[in-house]
Structures are given as C-alpha cells and as structure tokens.
C-alpha cells in the first residue's frame, strides 16, 4: 500500500473507532470520512461496507481480549477465569454501543473475523472449565458469546441501571454451571 493510502487507512480506522465510542456503531460513514479528512469514496475503497470497517477497527482491539484470556488461563480456578473473561468481553463491547448486537446478528460473514477471534480466545477457558466439571458439557463458546451479547444489549438499553449487567450475568451463570453455587 502506498504511504498516503496507508495514512488514509489508519486515519479512517482511528476516526471510526472514536466515532463508534461516541456515537455508536450506526454513526454515518460520511461523518467518519469527513473527520478523517478524506472523501466517502476513499472510505469505500478501503472498506466496502460498514461491517468491513467495523471488522477492521475491532479486530485490532481483540488482541487485548485474547491476551486477557491467556492471562486468565494461569488462574487456579477455571470458572472464575472464564467469567472474568466474559466480563472483559462485555466491558470492551459496551464501549461501542451496538457492537455486540451487530457481531452476533452478522449473517453475511462480514464480522466473521471478529467472531472467530472472540471464539478462539475464549474456547480454551471454556474447555478448561468444562474439563474441571464446573461448566455443563453441552455449552459452546458461541452460546456464551450470544448470551453475553444479549446481556450487553439489555444493559445498553437501560443505562440508568448500572447493575443490570451484573445481575443478569449472575442469573445466566446459574444456567451454565454444573452446580448451583456460582457467582458471576
């Protein structure tokens, strides 16, 4: 990529990241292009649609969640490690209003890279908790990510209630563990 094209690409990613934080994932792409100092055509040359732009922004940030999963593998207790990672996913996604719902709802594969990275990062934590007999064996990482996304979406719709995520996650955890004594 030419140096000027790379600068435009990097500016678009940074402006998109900031716009998604401030305005949510439905922000006008024209606004992102304008703030990056490029035309809408330049944005579309790099990113053919909103999902491609979102995928590019968030794949870079998923490295932190993958790193957190690796750190949590060092914890002695598998279930608390898994729950801590799901909370980290929620914290990350909630910074970008609408991100979680968009990733889960992606049926055309545009957000596949994000889905795959999230799944891969959490899979070992889940498998470890299942091997320890702490999480039901019929639970898949995709189930946990959908569940977490649903809780995030509900919490986003009720911003005045700061305890929504914690209460709902505690309730959900009771459905995934093999015993009734789990707290999220």
Instruction: Give the pLDDT of the chain (184 residues) as one tens digit per residue.
Output: 788 889 999 999 999 999 988 888 889 999 999 999 999 999 999 999 988 898 888 877 788 889 999 999 998 899 999 999 998 888 887 777 767 667 666 666 666 777 788 889 999 999 999 999 999 999 999 899 888 888 888 888 888 888 888 899 889 888 888 865 455 4
Bridge partners for 136 per DSSP: none
Distance CA 8, CA 20 (A): 18
At 70 the pLDDT is 93
Instruction: Give residue-wise pLDDT tens across range 83-127.
Output: 999 988 888 877 777 676 676 666 666 667 777 888 899 999 999
Q: Which residue has the tokens 């898994």?
A: 82
At 139 the pLDDT is 94
The structure's pTM equals: 0.74
Contact 151, 90 (CB under 8 A): yes
Please state which CATH class domain 49-176 belongs to: mainly alpha
At 10 the pLDDT is 93
Q: What's the farthest any 2 CA atoms get from each other in the chain? A: 58
Instruction: Identify the CATH assignment for 1-47 out of 3.40.50.1950, 1.10.10.60, 3.40.50.450, 1.10.10.10.
Output: 1.10.10.60
In degrees, rounded to 5, the angle at the alpha carbon of residue 149 between the alpha carbons of residues 113 and 153 is: 125
CB atoms within 10 A of CB 88: 19
Domain range summary for the chain, segments of one domain joined by +: 1-47, 49-176
Contact 56, 111 (CB under 8 A): no
Helical packing angle, 50-72 and 29-36, nearest 10°: 80
Residues in the chain: 184
């Amino acid at each position: 990529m030419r140096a000027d094209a790379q600068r435009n690409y990097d500016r678009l990613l940074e402006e998109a990241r900031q716009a998604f934080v401030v305005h949510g994932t439905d922000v006008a792409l024209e606004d992102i292009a304008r703030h990056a100092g490029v035309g809408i055509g330049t944005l579309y040359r790099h990113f053919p649609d909103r999902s491609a732009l979102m995928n590019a922004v968030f794949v870079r940030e998923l490295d932190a969640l993958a790193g957190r999963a690796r750190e949590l593998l060092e914890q002695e207790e598998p279930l608390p490690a898994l729950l801590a990672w799901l909370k980290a996913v929620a914290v990350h996604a909630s910074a970008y209003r609408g991100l979680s719902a968009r990733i889960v709802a992606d049926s055309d594969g545009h957000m596949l890279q994000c889905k795959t990275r999230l799944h891969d990062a959490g899979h070992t934590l889940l498998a470890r908790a299942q091997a320890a007999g702490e999480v039901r064996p019929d639970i898949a990482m995709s189930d946990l990510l959908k569940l977490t996304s649903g809780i995030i979406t509900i919490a986003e719709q009720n911003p005045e209630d700061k305890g929504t995520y914690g209460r709902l996650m505690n309730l959900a955890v009771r459905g995934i563990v093999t015993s009734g004594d789990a707290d999220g």
